[in-house]
Structure 1
Amino acid sequence: MSVYDYVLTEQEFVNKNELKYPFEERGLQFGDGIYEVIRVYDGEYYLIDEHVERLYRSAEAVKLQIPLEKQEMYQRLSDLLTKNKVETNAKVYMQITRGSAPREHAFPIDTTANLYAYVQDLPRKTKLMKEGISAISYPDVRWEWCYIKSLNLLPNVIAKQEAEEKGSFEAILHKDGEVTECSSSNIYLVREGKVYTHPAKKNILHGCVRSRVHKFCEDEEIPFIEEAFRLEDLQYAEELFLTSSTAEVMPVTKVDDLVIGEGKPGPLTRNLQRTYEKDAGLAGSRSIFKETTA
């Protein structure tokens, strides 16, 4: 089943062999692939083991064969930073799809996965971490397998855009009022010195920073309760924060028209921010607290 020579693009007709992108690519046509975003501080990966393990778990879940064994993956990722002479704060985006093949829903036979990864500078969001951010609530209409870090992110993109248009940093997702997570981060409610967050089930992403925050809480004997809370519980929240590889531990001070707690980052969130910085080697002169004691 062959494709005719000329392809319609946004500007003109182009010969299929001269297209600037592979139009018969399963990630492009089906979202048939997985990805990871890995944080880099001062040229060094943070939580690299957690990210690599999740990458391979996602691949196994969608029956995708990654073309590199784990040890070779570690080496290639290290070489990526070395080759680019990365010495600052950045992120690495990696994407793996099932490959390029004629468009059929069933998996292609004898097709090699397509893999690429690139590095992009990413300064820390220090001002927001100090002051806190606002968020909106938004219905969670995603599929049920959000634990897989797949390329199927259109609902997340729409939710994030809705937050952007309302001048907010993030969208807190909920199913009939039960909070799951955010469009690109995990979310936590603090009440009476306890941290509440949705259980790590299939309908949320098992965040790498989330797992680290869990450990921080255990080490400091802060109750970490994996129990879903509801939108109406936000009115009783003393603190609210979210986590991700790019946002770190981010205080949330307002959701829709509701001010959280005292309208500023709370002491438990501050404690976790400090612990995160220490764990990531960011304490001292690189800390967000070097100019403030708030």
Structure 2
Amino acid sequence: MQVYLPIAEMSVNFFLILGMGGGVGFLSGLFGVGGGFMMTPLLMFIGISPPIAVATGANQIVAASVSAAIAHWRRGNVDLKMGSVLLVGGILGSVFGVWLFTLLREIGQIDLVITIAYVIFLGVIGGLMFVESVRAAIRRKRQVRRRQHTHLWIHGLPFKTRFRRSRLYISVLPPIGIGFLVGILGAIMGVGGGFVMVPAMIYLLGMPTTVVIGTSLFQIVFVMANVTVLQAVTNQTVDIMLALVLLVGAVIGAQFGARAGAKMPGDQLRVLLAALVLTVCAQLVFDLVRTPGDLYSLGIVGSQ
């Protein structure tokens, strides 16, 4: 069954989009990420332009994250205080990111910037997460005990406060900085930023993996809602029809993902997430370097 997307100006298969939303929603609940690192490239792979894929993907992330965040909240896996501090930086970063997105779109470079940004961030983060996860698995087999986190320079920064749910006493500056970066990524790449936030919260802040997932989802909900509104008002790139179909699948898939994630060890979750990130990165690199079907194309700078 075909449905017409008014903003993307193309017809797509309804069940294909519904299945994509369900699959990404499952990943959101399983890994504690918004799923945009999968959704935006998938939309691009089926022919939707990058600006529309980014803005509409941000809208889908909101629903998937709400559903998964509620599931983790019920299990007590959300640090509300840490999530609020991350949210401050996230809102500021998303406002700056949408302004930068608009500027790049006006000069006709947004498509290239989105693709290159995905390749760089997914490659680096996926590689680091995979290496660390493999090392953690090896240490567990050898029964080598390791402290949950080491004392880094960020733990000596001022404006410290206690995050009781995460069992931390650190400065609010690193969480705000992490939130700001994630807000920019959300606006430029249409991602919730979980693939950056989750490892940063684990390895830099020293939060427990179980608390990280729920707290990450809590922050993602509000930041991506802000991105969606700003993109719709500023750039008119949110396709409502596409977003609605994705939302239905995402909400259902997230509940199953949250249940599956509760049954898996943190190390295994990180290995699977790293593998997915690297797979998407490899596909984007292939699309970036392969010879296009049409060597020449006509377009208008700033068009959709």
**TM over 0.5: same fold?**
no
Larger Rg: 1
Q: TM-score range by the shorter chain?
A: under 0.3
